[in-house]
Structure 1
Amino acid sequence: MTPDAADGDLAIESRALTKVFGSQRAVDGIDLAVPRGSVFGFLGPNGTGKTTSIRMMLGLVRATSGDVRVLGEPMPDRLRDVLPRVGALVEGPAFYPFLSGEANLRRFDSADRHASPATRRARVASALERVGLSAAASKKAGAYSLGMKQRLGIANALLQPRELLVLDEPTNGLDPQGTREVRHLVRSFAAEGTTVFVSSHLLAEVEQICTHAAIMSAGALVAQGSLAELRGAGQSSVRVSTPDPGAAAAVLVRFGLTPALSEPASASAEVSALLPDRAATDTGGRIDIDDILPALVRAGVRVRGFVVEEPSLEDRFVALTGEGFDVVR
């Protein structure tokens, strides 16, 4: 396991988890470690095995090999004990189109052997209110927009208190306002102590709501850890906008950097250079970034812009996989 967490501190843990369909290895021996209390982003292009992995975690399909534990229990062996503690929205919600949103939730709640009939009405009303569907509670689910169906699916996952929420592409089909609402919901779940596992192909969503992430590529797990760890594995860069690119490049060279010049835009050009990785900088003391701008000014460089760009999750993903998020296997 990559994260340094004891087994009891993990909400989800898999070892060599593998699923093969015929000749296709959909999930290839993943070792996943999801810390309790985290908002964990399961990241990768569509078609890389994320949903298949989730289905194995929840006991919906049996793994070809390997094992997985959810909330400390082996799955699917302890499925009956684990699933009441887990709320899930996987592969989009499915509802009876001729029933209202409220009636659908009542039907699903009545199928839960742990749910008390005496408090059903209150639970359903509370779940609908939390996802912003109270006004549409009596509307038939078949007339719901895709975004409303997504929110109804999240409401279904909230009918009982949950230790773990598993949300597969929860913002699919949502407009910007709906996306913000789901983002707020996820943060509120985490604030209450619930572990939230979010599968997504949207980098921006993961960066805004998650504390940890794992990156999938072609069925394999290529990286995982806190967002800070994943970003920190990349390289920062410095970018200078100036009408004196030659002089700026000479200053960067004196700092031991290798500058690159872009084509001039109007009266200015951009000079950029990769910075040494943080570990080398911290231990070797070779470059203090704060010294670069004063050195440029002392050299008479007319600085129109100076930016230190930190590595992003997108940079890390592309470096690991060589793929963009439009890739589908």
Structure 2
Amino acid sequence: MLTVQEPSPSATASTGECSIVTRGLTKRFRGGQVAVNDLDLAVPRGSVFGFLGPNGSGKTTTIRMLLGLAAPTSGTWELLGTPMPGGMGTVLPRVGALVEGPAFYPYLSGEANLRRYDAADPAADPRTAAARIGLALERVGLAAAARKRYRAYSLGMRQRLAIAGALLGPRELLVLDEPTNGLDPQGTREVRGLVKEIAAEGTTVFVSSHLLAEVEHMCSHIAVMRAGRLVAQGPIAGLRAGEAVRIRVETPDIAEAAAVFAALGLAQVRAGDGEVSAELGTDAPERICAVLVDGGVAVRGLAVQRPSLEDVFVGLTGEGFDVDG
């Protein structure tokens, strides 16, 4: 089984390089149910951090503890270098969050909803509300639909409005719980693009999701949860490095192609269903193709397969989870 470890939170937190640090964070409910078990998390500043796991793995419970919406049973945590919960009053105004989906008045416009949202924030300056609301709507691409009623918004527009609510002030950290949940492909692309834009401006974005493929498109780092426990965390590139790159050849000459792969010393040769694959190793794909052709193997197609995030997860746990939602 692949094992990957990021530097411990205790080693990185003191340097101020992490936006979120947890040590032994645990949540037990009545009846003995453990939702989050001894979580040590380190989220680098400026990253787009994917918090992955199947539904029920403890992602939302973790987010609720981080934001002070639920009290941990044990453990400690820091946001933006400040110990919690004592620093909530000074830190949370620098944190934007979307937890468990948007909730707005359907009969009000997007702009009017944000005015009420902003008025409920004791840290918000009412004198700058109009300017900040206009800027937030512009950032999420809803300036033209500002006076449109919320009930007429598409799912993608509703998610973008919720993110606008989280961006009504300057934010150093943005926490998004399943931001693409229930969206069609177009809405998913809209939210994905918005997350990348926000991160490019220097904000750390912490994205919880059960969709492996979606996280792979927008995140630089990930942590993987399973049944309340942290399985792995680190840069996606580093996690992928533990999985082998494979070469796959489509051919009617299965036995001959497998023999060529074996003669070249390629490892983990697999044959069947009109194709042969093996670990690429240090051989150049074009050289392998030339050897196949010289050996009389009919090559219908050749591809280099780099490990996906799903491959990494299966390598870590021996299991898969919902990739497509």
Regarding TM over 0.5, the answer is yes
Cα distance per residue 1:5-61 (max 9 Å; x no partner) = 732100111111111112211111111111000011111111111010111111111
Match of 2:23 in 1: 15
Cα distance per residue 1:133-161 (max 9 Å; x no partner) = 33433344355444333222101001001
- 1:310 maps to which of 301, 306, 309: 306
- 2:272 maps to which of 259, 262, 275: 262
Match of 1:300 in 2: 296
- 2:276 maps to which of 271, 274, 278: 271
Match status 1:116 vs 2:120:
no
Question: Which residue type is aligned with residue 307 of structure 1?
Answer: A
Question: Which residue type is aligned with residue 193 of structure 1?
Answer: G
- Deviation for aligned residue 1:223: 1.0
Change (3 A) 1:188 1:205: same
Q: Distance in 2 between matches of 1:56 and 1:275?
A: 44
Describe how 1:241-252 pairs up with structure 2 within 5 A: 241-252=250-261
Match of 2:78 in 1: 69
Name the Cα RMSD after superposition: 2.1
Q: Distance in 2 between matches of 1:103 and 1:302?
A: 65
Match of 2:36 in 1: 27
Alignment check: 8 A CA contact 1:58 1:75 kept = no
- Deviation for aligned residue 1:298: 2.8
Secondary structure of 2:26 counterpart: strand
- Deviation for aligned residue 1:74: 1.3
Question: Which residue type is aligned with residue 28 of structure 2?
Answer: V
- 1:52 maps to which of 61, 73, 76: 61
Alignment check: 8 A CA contact 1:43 1:214 kept = yes
Match status 1:229 vs 2:238:
yes
Change (3 A) 1:104 1:274: same
Alignment check: 8 A CA contact 1:150 1:172 kept = no
Match status 1:182 vs 2:205:
no
- Deviation for aligned residue 1:313: 0.4
Q: Is there any run of 5+ residues in structure 1 with no aligned partner, and where?
A: 264-268, 282-286
Change (3 A) 1:11 1:258: closer
Match of 1:2 in 2: 6
Q: Distance in 1 between matches of 2:268 and 2:49?
A: 37
Change (3 A) 1:192 1:247: same
Match of 2:320 in 1: 324
Change (3 A) 1:135 1:173: farther
Question: Which residue type is aligned with residue 312 of structure 1?
Answer: S
How many residues matched? 313
Secondary structure of 1:253 counterpart: helix
- 1:105 maps to which of 111, 114, 133: 114
Change (3 A) 1:138 1:238: same
Q: Distance in 1 between matches of 2:214 and 2:88?
A: 30
Q: Distance in 2 between matches of 1:108 and 1:218?
A: 34
Q: Distance in 1 between matches of 2:200 and 2:180?
A: 20
Q: Distance in 2 between matches of 1:226 and 1:129?
A: 31
Q: Distance in 1 between matches of 2:166 and 2:233?
A: 26
% identity of equivalent residues: 65
Cα distance per residue 1:189-244 (max 9 Å; x no partner) = 11111101111111221111111111111111111111111212212222112222
Cα distance per residue 1:72-122 (max 9 Å; x no partner) = 011222111110000000111222344332222112212323322222112
Secondary structure of 1:40 counterpart: strand
Q: Distance in 2 between matches of 1:15 and 1:147?
A: 35
Q: Is there any run of 5+ residues in structure 2 with no aligned partner, and where?
A: none
Alignment check: 8 A CA contact 2:156 2:191 kept = no
- 2:180 maps to which of 171, 196, 207: 171
Alignment check: 8 A CA contact 1:19 1:64 kept = yes
Cα distance per residue 1:278-321 (max 9 Å; x no partner) = xxx6xxxxx55554223223322222222221111011112223
